Amino acid sequence: MKLYLSSFKIGKNPKTLVNMLGENMKTAYITNGHAHATTDVRQFESTWDIRELREAWLLPEVLNLSDYFGKQKLLKKKLESFGLIYVAGWHILNLRIAMKLSGFDVAINELIDSDIVYAWYDVGASIVGPDLNAYKWVELESFITYKHDTIWEWLGLTPWYVVGNIDSVHELSNEKSKKLIKYYDDKDLKYKKIKDGEVVLHIVKK
């Protein structure tokens, strides 16, 4: 499995992502991190992302994980039809719960040896690490939309953490990244920093 981890949206050089794919340009676009936002905000963000994906000659299809709650086998079969899985950011706790309830977290680990590319941005990139404990100090549980206890375990696809929005022009995102870095430094944990526009590439192996 190949990971494409971006700080903000698709990044400055989408050709890097496209070159990671084979012939299958079908893209699963997952936006469950937007679940707490208003309809107008969700529409604005989705329109932006889908436009970027299409401009890179990718073929996006919205994949709502809530449609697969309790249907893990069906979701895995669906995921296998895509060349790229593109996960948007925003509220990481909503995203993690949706991954749990749909079985996405299990399916993605079962597909580690596949040729599918997993691209994530913002908190969608952060969720690939070992755990979510640092977010207890930076993310509001009151924004959780799905009826489930907060999940603090991440997907465990990387042995290190990801901190995006470094030196970002978005003040709130920049402040959050500073808090995360302090947490990881205080606990002597390994992490990778990504500025907006930059990406980190990683190959996951069992």
| % of the chain surpassing 70 pLDDT | 98
Question: What pLDDT is recorded for position 189?
Answer: 95
Question: What pLDDT is recorded for position 36?
Answer: 75
pLDDT digit string (tens) for 121-177?
A: 775 567 888 888 888 877 767 678 888 888 888 788 999 999 988 887 777 777 888
pTM flag (> 0.85): yes
Fold of 2-203: Rossmann fold (3.40.50)
Type of residue at 40: D
Residues 6+ apart with CB under 8 A from 173: 122, 164, 165
Q: How far is CA 190 from CA 1, 16, 158, 160, 161, in A?
A: 21, 25, 10, 5, 6
Spans of all domains in the chain: 2-203
Question: What pLDDT is recorded for position 133?
Answer: 87
Place of tokens 């890097």: 16
In angstroms, rounded to a whole number, what is the distance separating the alpha carbons of residues 163 and 196? 11
Q: Which residue pairs, CB below 8 angstroms and at least 24 apart, start in 77-80? A: 78/28, 79/28, 79/104, 79/107, 79/108, 79/111, 79/116, 80/111, 80/114, 80/116
Closest CA to 30 of 73, 92, 114: 92
Contact 113, 206 (CB under 8 A): yes
